[in-house]
Structure 1
């Protein structure tokens, strides 16, 4: 059941004709694992918490660096040197005290991936490396868990919803590329708003998926070009 405070907190979205108590309860009862609390994670996490997702686990072993702050807006200058996962959890708990937030200063690995993914209803990939992304994909396929993919490169980003019974990330990219094939942000650069936009769209897709709404991203790959504001859809 929704409390009186929750009815007031989520009143504006509950006023939507298509969004009723049943959709809000689906969010409240859901458990999400967000892997990565960097640029994508900082774009996605506040809106997941604000919308009322009942349980959010944040997994990231990194500490905050000064160069992160141009795009990872959950953090403050005074946070430099502290855990991203812990600080993100603190910020989200302050934003919405009625939900459960857990920040874990740990990376996803072959040793813990099955445990973490099995415990959650939906996985959001906010990582910035291919080895973890393929690990998430393959484990989600094995455990029949949905996951939301997001990635950026220079001026462009992409995202998709991979769910049981449908195409997987390996349907798009069967073989993991080498680090030399696709340079990281440290090499090619990135404007801070881009991961924020893609992370926000990942949050939107998570909310739609949990609420039972359809989206083009559930059927294919969405790409976004920051320079000309072009959003394209490629059906899988």
Structure 2
């Protein structure tokens, strides 16, 4: 992935990355050249979008067919009260442009599923999925696998969350979620509730995994699930 040189303004903006061992100029150039798709501009997508935009990901795609509602604002911090009723992707686009005008935003105002997932993800280098139903998650995972893209996957419920990475050649979505799993197995936040900052914890971890994959630093969560117990204040992990 090649990109244009950093401008003087970008050099100042990303100065904390540029002096960071393991990132530096080459890492920031990789971020600028990256095309990242965030599926879902809700609880997990919001912090992921914010930190990817702040980090200087050059092209950020957002796909969502939902609109901002009042109940979203307890946890979806890129949206505002004035934006209630607006398309979530339009709201996300305004947030990104206000935070970092160097990021190109591609807005997909549509529901992603089996019929269009492969077409949408094909234009990107990396996918993050923060959706809340297993049918969509399965469709996105299948498309990413077909196209050969790494996928950062997060999930939350009530006080707990988890994040993992599916990468080409590694364990697959079906190794973690059996084929018989369906949405009835996953409690909805409308029915059970969710503590707002939990989505920030997991969504930010998703952004962290994305930056690691783009820049090549560290050890991504491939074949490992990092879990967070919000009530107990504990992280743990298991392999699959």
TM-score w.r.t. the length of structure 2 is 0.95
Matched, 1:119 2:123: yes
Matched, 1:86 2:77: no
Matched, 1:35 2:36: no
How far apart, in 2, do the equivalents of 1:18 and 1:139 lie?
31
Match of 2:206 in 1: 202
Shift of 1:65: 0.7
The number of residue pairs the alignment matches comes to 236
Match of 2:197 in 1: 193
- 2:171/2:222 contact within 8 Å kept: no
RMSD after superposition: 1.2
- 2:145/2:168 contact within 8 Å kept: yes
Shift of 1:162: 0.8
Shift of 1:214: 2.5
Identify which range, 213-222 or 13-22, moves more after superposition.
Answer: 213-222
How far apart, in 1, do the equivalents of 2:225 and 2:104 lie?
31
Q: Secondary structure at the match of 1:180?
A: helix
Tell me the alpha carbon deviations over residues 70-90 of structure 1, each in whole angstroms, 9 at most, x when there is no partner: 001111111111100111111
Q: Secondary structure at the match of 1:218?
A: coil
Tell me the alpha carbon deviations over residues 180-207 of structure 1, each in whole angstroms, 9 at most, x when there is no partner: 3222000111011111110010001000
Q: Secondary structure at the match of 1:158?
A: strand
Q: Which runs of 5+ in 1 are unaligned?
A: none
Shift of 1:23: 0.6
Which of 135, 143, 155 aligns to 1:139? It is 143
Identify which range, 201-210 or 108-117, moves more after superposition.
Answer: 108-117
Shift of 1:126: 1.2
How far apart, in 2, do the equivalents of 1:86 and 1:196 lie?
21
- 1:134/1:176 contact within 8 Å kept: no
- 1:131/1:176 contact within 8 Å kept: no
Shift of 1:151: 0.3
Match of 2:216 in 1: 212
